Amino acid sequence: SQQGEEDPQALSIQEGENATMNCSYKTSINNLQWYRQNSGRGLVHLILIRSNEREKHSGRLRVTLDTSKKSSSLLITASRAADTASYFCATDDSWGKLQFGAGTQVVVTP
Amino acid sequence: EAQVTQNPRYLITVTGKKLTVTCSQNMNHEYMSWYRQDPGLGLRQIYYSMNVEVTDKGDVPEGYKVSRKEKRNFPLILESPSPNQTSLYFCASSFGKGDTQYFGPGTRLTVL
């Protein structure tokens, strides 16, 4: 079964709006990462947040982590058409296994 | 240029015909991994390797083999491919487990 589950499955917004997506996971983690994938291409790393961190920023990206609720959120502010992609969270366990969620498809219209 | 390369990028084959997908990285990464991506299921880890001669099963290892004889290479072997292995495959590498994964461009495999 998948460790990470993203919500919503799909999101459609207009340029300039903020996009928020959530990731929930089931077991204890070391790190949680967010990746972006443009259609059919390899995933690109966005941000990594460690289990002892609560919030992290990178440019227009803001990630939060709540280990008590086993959840994380990714916020993209002032979205652009180029942000159109699928976004995945990934968690790793102590043994080295990495698990991805099914992803959130984001469409940003001009 | 730091990168992960995969070959071939596209492959159409028939049931039972052994095939190998190669993966190579030039970043001196210790951790390498194979994933398959299917619609609605996201990426599922097939096998991973934390160093040379060390490999472990991911979530969906059945029907696949891997080897890690050199640090830079991590081939994926399908001894007897079946149609349910039709998928998009990605190789990735990182310095260590849990670190940023660098993904290859993907291999689209169709098994008839």
DSSP A15: T
Which residues does chain A have within 8 Å of residue B58's beta carbon, measured at their own beta carbons? 97-98
- Does the pLDDT at position B38 exceed 60? yes
Percent of chain B with pLDDT over 70: 100
CA distance B103 to A41: 9
Mean pLDDT, 10 residues at a time, chain A of 110 residues? 75 96 90 92 93 96 96 97 95 82 93
Q: How far is B97 from chain A (nearest CA, A)?
A: 5
Q: With contact defined as beta carbons under 8 Å apart, do A73 and A23 qualify?
A: yes
The pLDDT value recorded for residue B23 is 98
Report the chain A residue with the minimal C-alpha distance to residue B30.
Answer: A96
Which residues in chain A have Cβ-Cβ distances shorter than 8 Å to B101?
A: 33, 35, 43, 45, 90, 98
DSSP chain B: ---EEEE-SEEEE-TT--EEEEEEESS--SEEEEEEEETTTEEEEEEEEEETTEEEE-S--TT-EE--SSSSB--EEESS--GGG-EEEEEEEESSTTSPPEE---EEEEE-
Closest CB from B33, B41, B108 relative to A98: B33
Q: What is the mean pLDDT of residues B71-93?
A: 97
Q: What pLDDT, in 10s, does the model give residues B46-68?
A: 999 999 999 999 999 999 999 99
Q: For B42, which of A30, A88, A95 is closest by C-beta distance?
A: A88
